Chains A and B, each alone.
Chain A
Amino acid sequence: MPRPRDTAGGPPQIPRRTALLGGIGALGAAALLSGCSSAGQSAAPVLAEGSATGSPRPGGVLRMARPPASQAETLDPASSLSAYEYLGALYNRLVRTDENGETAPDLAESWESSGDGTVWTFRLRDRVPFHDGSRLTSADAAYTVRRLVDPELASPQGTVLAPLIDPKKVHTPEPGVLRVELTEPNFEFPALLTNYNCYVVPDGSGAEIGSTGVGTGPFRLESFSPGGRGRVVAFDEHWAGPPVLDAIEMFAMTDIQARTNALLAGQVDLLSQTNLDFATARVVQASERATIARSANAQWYVLPMLTTAEPFTDVRVRTAMKLAYDPQHVVDVALQGTGVVGDDNPVPPGTPYRSDYAVPRDPERARALLAEAGVPGLRVDLYTSSYDPVFTPMALAYRDSAAEAGIEVTVRNASADSYYTQIWMNRPLMATYWYTGRPADQLLNQVFRSGSPYNETAWSDEVFDGLLDDARRAADPDRRRTLYQDAQRRIVDEGGAMTPMFADRLVGISKEVLNYRETGFEFDYLDIGLRP
Chain B
Amino acid sequence: MPVFISRRLLSAAVTVLLAAVLVFAAVQLLPGDVAAQVLGQDATPDAVAALRDRLGLDRPAVLRFLDWLAGAVRGDFGASLVSGEPVADALALHLRNTLLIAVATIAVAVTSSIVLGVLAGLYRDRWPDTVISSLTLIGMSVPEFVVATLLVLALSITVPVLPAVVLDEASAPVADLLPAVVLPAAALSVVMTAYIVRMTRTSVIDVMAGEFVTTARLKGLGTWRVVVRHALPSALLPTLNVIAMNVAWLVGGVVVVENVFNYPGVGTLMLEAVHNRDLPVLQAIAVVSAAVYVLCNLAADLGALALDPRLRTRERSAR
| Chain A residues within 8 Å of B, Cβ to Cβ | 1-5, 7-8, 15-17, 20-22, 24-25, 28-29, 32-33, 70-72, 80-81, 154, 156, 159, 225-229, 251, 253-255, 257-259, 261-262, 264-268, 287, 415, 417-418, 420-422, 424-425, 453
B89-110 interface bits toward A, Cβ cutoff 8 Å, 1 = contact, 0 = none: 0000000000000000000000
Question: A392–B150 Cα gap in the complex (Å)?
Answer: 27
Which among B36, B39, B146, B274 is the interface contact of A28 at CB below 8 angstroms?
A: B146
Is the beta-carbon distance between A3 and B164 smaller than 8 angstroms?
no
B136-168 interface bits toward A, Cβ cutoff 8 Å, 1 = contact, 0 = none: 000000000110111011001100100111011
Is the beta-carbon distance between A421 and B44 smaller than 8 angstroms?
no
Q: With contacts A22-B260, A33-B153 known, what are 16 further pairs, Cβ within 8 A?
A: A4-B42, A16-B275, A24-B145, A25-B148, A81-B38, A154-B43, A227-B83, A254-B271, A258-B165, A258-B259, A265-B156, A266-B160, A267-B165, A417-B274, A418-B30, A422-B31
Is the beta-carbon distance between B259 and A3 smaller than 8 angstroms?
no
Question: A7–B43 Cα gap in the complex (Å)?
Answer: 9
B44-86 interface bits toward A, Cβ cutoff 8 Å, 1 = contact, 0 = none: 1011000000000000000000000000000000001011010
In the complex, residue of chain B having the shortest beta-carbon distance to the beta carbon of A2:
B40
Is the beta-carbon distance between A29 and B30 smaller than 8 angstroms?
no
Is the beta-carbon distance between A229 and B41 smaller than 8 angstroms?
no
Chain B residues lying within 8 Å of A453, measured Cβ to Cβ, are 44
Which among B40, B44, B146, B272 is the interface contact of A3 at CB below 8 angstroms?
A: B40
Chain B residues lying within 8 Å of A226, measured Cβ to Cβ, are 83
Is the beta-carbon distance between B149 and A80 smaller than 8 angstroms?
no
**Within the complex, what minimum Cβ distance (angstroms) separates A81 from chain B?**
8
Question: A21–B148 Cα gap in the complex (Å)?
Answer: 13
What total of chain B residues lie within 8 Å of the partner, measured CB to CB?
A: 45
Chain B residues lying within 8 Å of A266, measured Cβ to Cβ, are 160
Chain B residues lying within 8 Å of A25, measured Cβ to Cβ, are 145-146, 148-149, 260
Question: A28–B169 Cα gap in the complex (Å)?
Answer: 27
Which among A32, A70, A268 is the interface contact of B276 at CB below 8 angstroms?
A: A70
**Within the complex, what minimum Cβ distance (angstroms) separates B36 from chain A?**
5
Which among A7, A257, A262 is the interface contact of B40 at CB below 8 angstroms?
A: A7
Q: Does residue B261 face the partner (Cβ distance < 8 Å to A)?
A: yes
Q: List 11 A-B contacts (CB under 8 A).
A: A2-B40, A22-B260, A71-B83, A80-B43, A156-B42, A229-B169, A257-B260, A258-B261, A261-B156, A265-B165, A421-B41
Is the beta-carbon distance between B32 and A154 smaller than 8 angstroms?
no
Chain A residues lying within 8 Å of B38, measured Cβ to Cβ, are 1, 70, 72, 81
In the complex, residue of chain A having the shortest beta-carbon distance to the beta carbon of B46:
A154
Question: A391–B255 Cα gap in the complex (Å)?
Answer: 27
Is the beta-carbon distance between B275 and A417 smaller than 8 angstroms?
yes
Is the beta-carbon distance between B165 and A253 smaller than 8 angstroms?
yes
Which among A3, A15, A267 is the interface contact of B39 at CB below 8 angstroms?
A: A3
A-B pair number, CB within 8 angstroms: 151
Chain B residues lying within 8 Å of A154, measured Cβ to Cβ, are 43-44, 46-47
Give the one of B150, B157, B165, B271 with max A CB within 10 A. B165
Is the beta-carbon distance between B150 and A258 smaller than 8 angstroms?
no
Question: A287–B158 Cα gap in the complex (Å)?
Answer: 10
Q: Does residue B37 face the partner (Cβ distance < 8 Å to A)?
A: yes
Question: A258–B262 Cα gap in the complex (Å)?
Answer: 6
**Within the complex, what minimum Cβ distance (angstroms) separates B100 from chain A?**
18
B238-269 interface bits toward A, Cβ cutoff 8 Å, 1 = contact, 0 = none: 00000000000000000010011110000010
In the complex, residue of chain B having the shortest beta-carbon distance to the beta carbon of A159:
B44
Chain B residues lying within 8 Å of A225, measured Cβ to Cβ, are 169
**Within the complex, what minimum Cβ distance (angstroms) separates A514 from chain B?**
23
Question: A258–B264 Cα gap in the complex (Å)?
Answer: 12
Is the beta-carbon distance between A418 and B164 smaller than 8 angstroms?
no
Chain A residues lying within 8 Å of B163, measured Cβ to Cβ, are 265, 267
Question: A255–B258 Cα gap in the complex (Å)?
Answer: 10
Chain B residues lying within 8 Å of A4, measured Cβ to Cβ, are 40, 42
Question: A33–B42 Cα gap in the complex (Å)?
Answer: 38
Question: A421–B168 Cα gap in the complex (Å)?
Answer: 31
Question: A225–B264 Cα gap in the complex (Å)?
Answer: 14
Question: A227–B281 Cα gap in the complex (Å)?
Answer: 16
Question: A293–B36 Cα gap in the complex (Å)?
Answer: 34
| Chain B residues within 8 Å of A, Cβ to Cβ | 30-32, 36-44, 46-47, 80, 82-83, 85, 145-146, 148-150, 152-153, 156-157, 160, 163-165, 167-169, 256, 259-262, 268, 271-272, 274-276
Chain B residues lying within 8 Å of A70, measured Cβ to Cβ, are 38, 82, 272, 276
In the complex, residue of chain B having the shortest beta-carbon distance to the beta carbon of A262:
B165
Q: A70-B38, A258-B260 are in contact. Are A418 and B44 (CB under 8 A)?
A: no
Is the beta-carbon distance between A1 and B46 smaller than 8 angstroms?
no
In the complex, residue of chain B having the shortest beta-carbon distance to the beta carbon of A425:
B41
**Within the complex, what minimum Cβ distance (angstroms) separates B264 from chain A?**
9
Chain B residues lying within 8 Å of A267, measured Cβ to Cβ, are 163-165, 167
Chain A residues lying within 8 Å of B156, measured Cβ to Cβ, are 261, 264-265
In the complex, residue of chain B having the shortest beta-carbon distance to the beta carbon of A68:
B272
Question: A253–B261 Cα gap in the complex (Å)?
Answer: 9
**Within the complex, what minimum Cβ distance (angstroms) separates A417 from chain B?**
6
Is the beta-carbon distance between B41 and A5 smaller than 8 angstroms?
yes
Question: A230–B290 Cα gap in the complex (Å)?
Answer: 35
Is the beta-carbon distance between B40 and A1 smaller than 8 angstroms?
yes
Is the beta-carbon distance between B149 and A29 smaller than 8 angstroms?
yes
Is the beta-carbon distance between A420 and B40 smaller than 8 angstroms?
yes
**Within the complex, what minimum Cβ distance (angstroms) separates A199 from chain B?**
17
Question: A5–B41 Cα gap in the complex (Å)?
Answer: 7
In the complex, residue of chain A having the shortest beta-carbon distance to the beta carbon of B83:
A71
Question: A351–B85 Cα gap in the complex (Å)?
Answer: 46
Which among B46, B164, B168 is the interface contact of A264 at CB below 8 angstroms?
A: B164
Is the beta-carbon distance between A418 and B259 smaller than 8 angstroms?
no
Is the beta-carbon distance between B31 and A251 smaller than 8 angstroms?
no
Is the beta-carbon distance between B41 and A424 smaller than 8 angstroms?
yes
Question: A259–B74 Cα gap in the complex (Å)?
Answer: 40
Is the beta-carbon distance between A421 and B37 smaller than 8 angstroms?
yes
Is the beta-carbon distance between A421 and B36 smaller than 8 angstroms?
yes
Is the beta-carbon distance between B148 and A255 smaller than 8 angstroms?
no
Chain B residues lying within 8 Å of A287, measured Cβ to Cβ, are 157
**Within the complex, what minimum Cβ distance (angstroms) separates B167 from chain A?**
5
**Within the complex, what minimum Cβ distance (angstroms) separates B282 from chain A?**
14
Is the beta-carbon distance between A21 and B259 smaller than 8 angstroms?
yes
Is the beta-carbon distance between B262 and A255 smaller than 8 angstroms?
yes
Question: A258–B268 Cα gap in the complex (Å)?
Answer: 12
Chain A residues lying within 8 Å of B260, measured Cβ to Cβ, are 21-22, 25, 255, 257-258, 261
Chain A residues lying within 8 Å of B31, measured Cβ to Cβ, are 415, 418, 421-422
Is the beta-carbon distance between A265 and B145 smaller than 8 angstroms?
no
Give the 3 A-B residue pairs with the shortest CB-CB distance, closest first: A3-B40, A265-B164, A80-B42
**Within the complex, what minimum Cβ distance (angstroms) separates A35 from chain B?**
11
Question: A499–B264 Cα gap in the complex (Å)?
Answer: 40
Chain A residues lying within 8 Å of B164, measured Cβ to Cβ, are 258, 261-262, 264-265, 267
